[in-house]
Amino acid sequence: MEADPLGRAILDYQRGGLRGDCVYRDGAETRDGNIEGHYFTPREDWRDEWRTLLASLEPPIVDIGCGSGQHAEFLQERGEVVAIDVSPGAVEATRNRGVEDVRVMDMFEMDFRPDRFRSALLSGTQLGLAHSLAGVHRLLSELARITDEEGVAVVDNYDPTDLAPDDLLGYRSDPRRGIAHRTFHFEYDRDGEREVGRTLHFVLFSPERLRDVTVGMPWRVAEIQPREGFYKAVLRKEKR
Report DSSP state, residue 128. Answer: G
Give the H/E segment covering residue 91: helix 88-96
- Give the CA distances from residue 12 to residues 72, 80, 85, in Å, rounded to whole numbers and listed in that order: 19, 27, 17
When pLDDT is averaged across residues 123-128 and rounded to a whole number, the result is: 96
Taking the C-alpha atoms of residue 84 and residue 111, their distance in angstroms, rounded to an integer, is 11
For the residues 129-146, what does the mean pLDDT come to? 98
Indicate the pLDDT class of residue 42, thresholds 50, 70 and 90. very high
| Nearest residue to 177 (alpha-carbon basis) of 163, 188, 167 | 163
Q: What is the pLDDT of residue 1?
A: 65
Nearest to 90 by CA among 54, 40, 147: 40
Please state, in angstroms and rounded to a whole number, the distance separating the CA atoms of residues 237 and 214: 11
Separation between Cα atoms, residue 74 and residue 79, nearest integer Å: 10
pLDDT tens for 51-72 read 999 999 999 999 999 999 999 9
The full DSSP string for 159-180 is: -GGG--GGGSTTEE--SSTTEE
What H or E segment, with its residue span, contains residue 84? Answer: strand 81-85
164-170 contacts at long range (C-beta below 8 A, 24 or more positions apart): 164/229, 167/229, 168/229, 169/24, 169/26, 169/29, 169/30, 169/31, 170/24, 170/26, 170/29
| Nearest in space to 9 (alpha carbons), one of 43, 46, 34 | 34
Query: pTM for the whole thing?
Result: 0.96
The radius of gyration of the chain's CA atoms, rounded to the nearest angstrom, is 17
Confidence bin at 29 (pLDDT 50/70/90): very high
- pLDDT, position 125: 96
Distance of CA 212 to the CA centre of its chain: 21
pLDDT at 204: 98
Is residue 73 pLDDT above 70, yes or no? yes
Residue 240 pLDDT class (50, 70, 90 cuts): low
Q: What is the dihedral of CA 5, 45, 221, 104, to 10 degrees?
A: 30
Give pLDDT, residue 167.
Answer: 87
Q: How many CB atoms lie within 10 A of CB 94?
A: 29
- pLDDT of 171-223, one tens digit each? 999 999 999 999 999 999 999 999 999 999 999 999 999 999 999 999 999 99
